[in-house]
Amino acid sequence: MRIDENICLSKKLNGAISIRALKRFAAEHDTGAWKKFSRKLPPTGNKIAIVGSGPAGLTAAYYLTKLGHTVTVFEASGKTGGMMRWGIPDYRLPKDILDKEIKEIVDAGVDIQTDKRITSLDSLFEQGYKAIFLAVGAQRGLKLGVEGENSPAVIDGVSFLRNVKTGAKTISGKSVAVVGGGNVAIDVALTALRLGAREVNTVCIEHNPEEMPAFTDEVKQAKDEGVKIDMGWGVKRILHGEGKVKGLELTRCVSVFDDFGKFKPCYAQNETKTLDADIVIVAIGQMPDIPDTFSTKTNANHALQIDTKTLAASREGVWAGGDAVTGPASVIEAIAAGRKAAVSIDKYLGGKGKIDEKLTRARRIIMPETESYPEGAARVAVSLLPVAQRAGNFNETELGFEESSALTESERCLHCGEGITSRCRYACPAGINVPLYINLIKRGKYEDALAIIREKVPIPGVLGRVCSAPCEEACTGCAMCVPFCPMNAINANGEMKKEVKIDFDECADCGVCFRAKICPVNAIVDEVYQWPRSVRSAFSNPLVLHKETRVPGRGTEEVKTNEVTGQFKKGYVGVTAELGRPGVGARFRDVEKVAQALARAHVIFAANNPVTHMMTDKTTGKINDEILNEKVCSAMIETTSPIENLPNIIKELQEVAGQLDTVFSLTISSRLDEDGTAPCLKILKELDVSLYLNGKTNLGLGRPLFREESK
Amino acid sequence: MTHTLHRRGTRESLNRDYVMLCIAAKGINEDGADEKMQEFLRTVIKYGAVNFGDMRTGNSFCCNPEEIIGKVTSTSIVHGVFTDRATVAKVMRSLKKADLGMSVVVSGPFASVEEACKEAGIVPHSRDFSAGIWGKIDRLARPELLECTTMCGHAMISANLVEDIVKRIKAGVINARQGSLEIGRVCCCGIYNPERAERILRKLAS
């Protein structure tokens, strides 16, 4: 199989669509038109308490209020918004945007009580609340656990950002060391610069921006603004002198992950250096801080334990979601949790859990009759505040799209599968119909685009600035063929995700991607190859008839026509090993190993079997060297043998199984005795070979019967 | 070959999954086999097969019945899929009465198929037993996905496709029925059981 790169749509997409920026653009065109479609159900009389006013809590509150419940949000701090307010700097999310969208939620009827720290859920139940949603976030900064950490000049990243918001932190003229490679660390570093720090050095154990958990564009922004990032170093201890912090002793981080991809940093203890600093800010993550008085179960990470389907916590009438459950995650994931909790709580209170409403009549993607994609047009850059204008203030850095930019960017969208099967369509955790709102922007219907977003999230303007945009990750330029490949040989992870390629060596030429007719521009080409590659399609494509056997597929008629052919006679047993099945694929070098093992057990290879035809020596099972590296979806070695030989065969197969880089499905075929029993079953039981509860039964309706039967 | 063997799943799930196939023995009874296999197809359609097809032409999701029946040749292998034992027994009885002289194989739980044979007055001739998956089994897809993928014995249903469909169902883009039919398109021979797959997908997406 091959993809014609001149036709493939993916090549026409030069980088993912700026979906987040388009979301912001739609939010900036809010005329309130969506409100005329918005409905609130009559009061149910049910009181619901929500603990925490972050994205999860506010989302659940909004939808539950619209379903007619009386919802009160309890916020421990003096202002609403949770981590959106305290953890995201104003230059990324201006306060007025957050305030405006929270006001919409309050206007919907949500009661928010600030400076109300909840310490007992029992007390809420006693006050008549019938359901409680815990959305308390993950507020406690993690510690490094190194010498010298317990000093007032060492602070965690989240506390630092919170203090800045309350005006309680001044670091002008000081040298700041930030520890961590995530988004919070970058936010801390950029905030420190804006507060007038003399210099900001960020150290992290990761070795390159791609390895860092922080978004690549934010790392770039930090560098642009003058943050020095020292990668590949871990903190050995925090240095003190004269009662003050003096800096960090660092040790070289050799690797961040172990061989299994698990986070397990490894350090070269003898390679160290020091970094001077007046203030150290540790931003290596946060964890939930759940009061014991909640009497809810938590896990080893101090996060609330829940039923992942319903978000129900360990106590009756209590649900939990957002960072309090997942640890630090994205705003969109918290919103998705808020939506899920709203559905579960409404059902618990006797409702149907239907939180979605249609806020516009625009439901369909409309494509021009003749679509012309701006081939190769690069992703439109979002305007940024010049670096020189960022120092000393918290003015918004990202300026969003002008109308012309938004239109150009939306025109780049390929609307893969006309939006129905676009990968971005189902990437959003909250379920936003991404291709539809992009299509509406493209058609100049900005209000409708916003309505589509608002159907799933109550804070679109916030998301347009801080969404982690998993939909952009999914935007690979069609790539609709990728999941269809049973051999996982179609790759959409090329540079800039703009190329979809078939790995020629891993492709088994089964033809699924071609026959599925999934490519919207017919770029998939069903090539005919010469020997030895030709064996791939012969074995993998079930529509290809084997020249020798005239049977489509991969084997003989075996038990299917046994009453006519007598392939498995009384006193004999059939043993078939199908290499590569199910769904792994096999190279002929593995097929040969199994064939040789079977040959050692003195089986008779089926004459009309395609694998047998590939053998150069049917007594040893040797396969033609020319095809040993060829890969097929599966290849079937079919044999017969006197039944008393079955133990030898099983022994050889058990030995060779451990030497393979693939799997094989094993079939035992048997003529049944007059009483309907299969003589091989007793032997297999003695050999401890278990059989599946289902299988194939030849009804014996074929004629003429094999002569053994005629007698 | 054993394309209707090695289907994976729970007893309850497999009890709703039966594949019947009809084939001629090459060089022995293939003369006139095309007409007999056409008769087999008409029979399974008459009894409400949830899928049917010919490996050479396609299945009931991508081809209409007339096309599938019209293109049957003596080298075809034709199939019909059913979801209950009682119907399988009726089809068996009908095929026995028709006396096509073609080989007929039923895949399904042995206990249920045996009962159906008794009801139809048929004495089974031979069996294929599945002795499991051997070798580097850590390369397999997770068991829940295998329940779907093994419904195509030629490995045309990829685990990634099933996961992709589940994601779309979860997102509310398509329902389990639509997802099942989309998967069914790629299993060309018509042995995929769309009703069973729908149940599996619904469970995976819940």
Q: For A230-248, how does the pLDDT look when each residue is reduced to its tens digit (9 = 90+)?
A: 999 999 999 999 889 999 9
Q: Any CB–CB contact under 8 A between B92 and chain A?
A: yes
Chain A positions touching B154 (Cβ under 8 A) are 510, 542, 553-554, 633-634
pLDDT grade for A547, boundaries at 50, 70 and 90 = low
**What CATH code would you report for A39-138+288-348?**
3.50.50.60
Cβ proximity of A63 and A131 under 8 Å = no
Residue among A551, A691, A696 whose CB faces B107 most closely: A696
Q: What is the 3-state secondary structure (H, E, C) of A475-499?
A: CCCCCCCHHHCCCCCEECCCHHHCC
At A87, list the tokens. 């953890």
CATH superfamily of the domain spanning A140-286: FAD/NAD(P)-binding domain (3.50.50.60)
What token pair was written down for A237? 């201890």
* A-chain residues near B113 (CB < 8 A): 697
Whether the per-residue pLDDT at A69 is higher than 70: the answer is yes
Structure tokens belonging to residue B10: 């729970």
pLDDT of A549 above 60: no
Q: What pLDDT is recorded for position A161?
A: 95
Q: How does pLDDT run across B3-23, given as a tens digit for each residue?
A: 889 999 999 999 999 999 999
> Looking at residue A234, what DSSP letter applies?
E
CB within 8 Å: A431 and B172: yes
Q: What pLDDT, on a 0 to 100 scale, did the predictor assign at position A558? A: 78
Establish whether this prediction's ipTM goes over 0.95: yes
Which residues of chain B neighbour A689 with C-beta distances below 8 Å?
131-132
Mean pLDDT for the stretch of residues A632-655: 97
Amino acid of residue A687: L
Same fold, A1-16+476-527 and A140-286: no
Minimal CA separation from B123 to chain A, in Å:
7
The secondary structure element, H or E, covering residue A3 is strand A2-3
- The answer, yes or no, to whether residue A507 has pLDDT greater than 90, is yes
3-state class (DSSP) for residue A500 = coil
Q: What are phi and psi of B197, to 5 degrees?
A: -60, -40
Q: Is B4 on the interface with A (CB under 8 A)?
A: yes
Per-residue confidence at A371, pLDDT binned at 50, 70, 90?
low
**Mean of pLDDT values over A556-574:** 90
According to the model, what pLDDT value does residue A401 have? 96
Is the per-residue pLDDT at A499 higher than 90? Answer: no
Cα–Cα distance measured from residue B8 to residue A298, given in angstroms and rounded to the nearest whole number: 36
Window A:551-610, CB contacts with B under 8 Å: 551-565, 568, 574, 576-578, 580-585
Cβ burial of A494 (10 Å; 0-12, 13-18, 19+) is: middle
The pLDDT of residue A710:
46
pLDDT tens-digit series, residues A162-172: 999 988 767 88
Chain centroid offset of residue B173 CA? 27
**Fold annotation for A544-710:** Alpha-Beta Plaits (3.30.70)
Q: Are strands A318-320 and A131-134 parallel, antiparallel or unpaired?
A: parallel
Distance to chain A for B89, nearest Cα, Å: 12
What is the domain class of A21-31+358-473 according to CATH?
A: mainly alpha
Q: Is pLDDT at B62 greater than 50 in this prediction?
A: yes
Over residues A32-50, mean pLDDT: 96
Q: Tell me how far apart the alpha carbons of residues B14 and A496 are, in angstroms, rounded to a whole number.
A: 44
Asked if pLDDT for residue A495 goes beyond 60, the answer is no
Would you call B75 and A660 a contact, using CB atoms and an 8 Å cutoff?
no
Measured between CA atoms, how close is A496 to chain B, in angstroms?
22
Give the length of chain B.
206
Residue A112 pairs in a beta bridge with A73
**Any idea where the domains of chain B sit in the sequence?**
11-120, 138-205
- Give yes or no for residue B70 having a pLDDT over 60: yes
How much is the average pLDDT of A679-704?
A: 96
Give residue A311's region: left, alpha or beta (phi > 0; psi -120 to 50): left
Contact assessment for residue A442 and residue A404, using Cβ atoms and an 8 Å cutoff: no
For residue A460, is the peptide bond before it cis, meaning its omega torsion is within 30 degrees of 0?
A: no
Q: CB distance B173–A420 less than 8 Å?
A: yes
SS3 A697: strand
Determine the pLDDT at residue A496: 47
Q: Measured between alpha carbons, how far is A653 from A666 in angstroms, rounded to an integer?
A: 10
C-alpha A17/C-alpha A476 separation (Å) is: 9
Contact B128 A512 (CB under 8 A): no
CA atoms within 13 A on the CB side of A278: 11
The structure tokens 């529509």 sit at A543
A543: its two tokens: 């529509």
Query: Taking a contact as any Cβ pair under 8 Å apart, which residues of chain B between 97 and 126 contact chain A?
Result: 99-111, 113-114, 117, 122-126
Check pLDDT > 90 for residue A288. yes
Q: What is the 3-state secondary structure (H, E, C) of A387-451?
A: HHHCCCCCCCCEEECCHHHHHHHHHCCCCHHHHCCCHHHHCCCCCCCHHHHHHHHHCCCHHHHHH
The H or E element that residue A502 is part of is strand A501-502
Write the pLDDT tens digit of every residue in B126-145: 999 999 999 999 999 999 99
Distance from CA of B57 to the nearest CA of A (A): 8
Give dist(CA B97, CA B114) in Å, integer. 18
Structure confidence at residue B46 as a pLDDT band (50, 70, 90): very high
A624 in B contact zone (CB under 8 Å):
no
Which 174-203 residues of chain B touch chain A by CB within 8 A?
185-186, 188-189
| CB contacts < 8 A (A, B) | 307
For chain A, give the percent of residues with pLDDT over 90.
78
Alpha-carbon gap: A711 to the closest alpha carbon of chain B (Å): 15
Given an 8 Å threshold on Cβ–Cβ distance, is A425 in contact with B95? no
Q: Which residues in chain A touch residue B185, judged by CB atoms under 8 angstroms apart?
A: 516
Q: Which residues are paired to B108 by β-bridges?
A: A695
Distance from CA of B20 to the nearest CA of A (A): 9
Residue A369: which pLDDT band, with cuts at 50, 70 and 90? low
Give the pLDDT score at A284: 96
The pLDDT of residue B153 is 87
DSSP, collapsed to helix, strand or coil, labels residue A104 as helix
Q: From CA A480, how far away is CA A494, in angstroms rounded? A: 15
User: Pick from A512, A553, A699: which is nearest to B1 by CB?
Assistant: A553
Per DSSP, A659 falls in state T
In sequence order, what DSSP letters do the residues of chain B get, joined into one string?
--TTS-----HHHHTT-EEEEEEPPTTTS-TTHHHHHHHHHHHHHHTT-SEEEETTTEETTTS-HHHHHHT--TT-EEEEEES-HHHHHHHHHHHHHHT--SEEEEEEEHHHHHHHHHHHT----EEEEEEEEEE-GGGSPPHHHHHHHTTSTTS-S-HHHHHHHHHHHHTTSS-HHHHHHHHHTT-TTS---HHHHHHHHHHHH-
pLDDT at A550: 57
How many Cα neighbours within 13 Å face the side chain of B23?
29
> Three-state SS for A102?
helix
Interchain pair A695, B135: CB under 8 A: no
Q: Is A258 helix (H, G, I), strand (E, B) or coil?
A: coil
Q: Is the pLDDT of residue A314 over 90?
A: yes
Domain A1-16+476-527 belongs to what topology?
Alpha-Beta Plaits (3.30.70)
| CATH number 3.30.70.1110 is the correct assignment for the domain at B11-120 | yes
- In this structure, are residues B165 and B182 in contact, taking their beta carbons and an 8 Å threshold? yes
Q: Residue ranges of the alpha helices (H) in A307-357?
A: 323-326, 331-348
Average pLDDT for chain B: 94
Question: What count of residues does chain A have?
Answer: 711
Task: Name the residue among B117, B107, B116 with its Cα closest to residue B9.
Answer: B107
CA A479 – CA A369 distance, rounded (Å): 22
Q: What is the pLDDT of residues A523-535, one digit of tens each?
A: 999 988 999 999 9
Mind spelling out the 3-state secondary structure of A70-85? EEEEECCCCCCCCHHH
Q: What is the mean pLDDT of residues A44-55?
A: 98
Q: Which of A636, A689, A700 sits opposite B1 (nearest CB)?
A: A636
Residue located via tokens 């007893």? B11
- Give the pLDDT confidence of A452-479 residue by residue, as tens digits: 999 999 999 999 999 998 898 888 888 8
Interface test with A, best of B15, B134, B147 (most A CBs within 10 A): B134
Mean pLDDT to the nearest integer, A142-158 = 91
Report CB contact under 8 Å: A426, B168: yes
CA-CA-CA-CA dihedral for A358, A362, A363, A369, to nearest 10: 180
Query: Where in chain A are the domains?
Result: 1-16+476-527, 21-31+358-473, 39-138+288-348, 140-286, 544-710
**8 Å CB contact of B128 and A669:** yes
Alpha carbon distances (Å) from A648 to A107, A369, A573, B133: 78, 67, 13, 19
Percent over 70 (pLDDT), chain A = 96
Q: Which residue is closest to A690 within chain B, CA to CA?
A: B131
Whether the per-residue pLDDT at A315 is higher than 70: the answer is: yes
C-beta neighbour count of A522 within 10 angstroms: 11
Using the predicted structure, report yes or no on whether residue B1 has a pLDDT greater than 60: no
* Closest residue on chain A to B109 (Cα): A694
Is residue A181 within 8 A of residue A158, CB to CB? The reply is no
The predicted structure's pLDDT at residue B2: 75
- pLDDT, chain A, mean: 92
Pull the structure tokens for residue A424: 């971005």
CB A327 within 8 A of CB A137: no
Q: Strand, coil or helix: what is A682?
A: helix
User: Looking at residues A441-451, what average pLDDT do you find?
Assistant: 96
Please name the residues between 25 and 64 in chain B that touch chain A, using a CB distance below 8 Å.
Answer: 25-26, 28-29, 55-56
Residue A3: the pLDDT is 85
User: Which tokens is A274 given?
Assistant: 């020091």
Q: What tokens does A665 get?
A: 């499905």
Which letter does DSSP use for residue A160 in this model?
H
φ, ψ dihedrals at A117, nearest 5°? -85, 125
* Cβ contact A515–B186 (<8 Å): yes
Kindly list the residues from chain B whose CB atom is less than 8 angstroms away from the CB atom of residue A553: 1, 3, 55, 77, 154
Q: How far apart are the first and last CA of chain B?
A: 35
Q: How far does chain A reach from its first CA to its final CA, in angstroms? A: 51
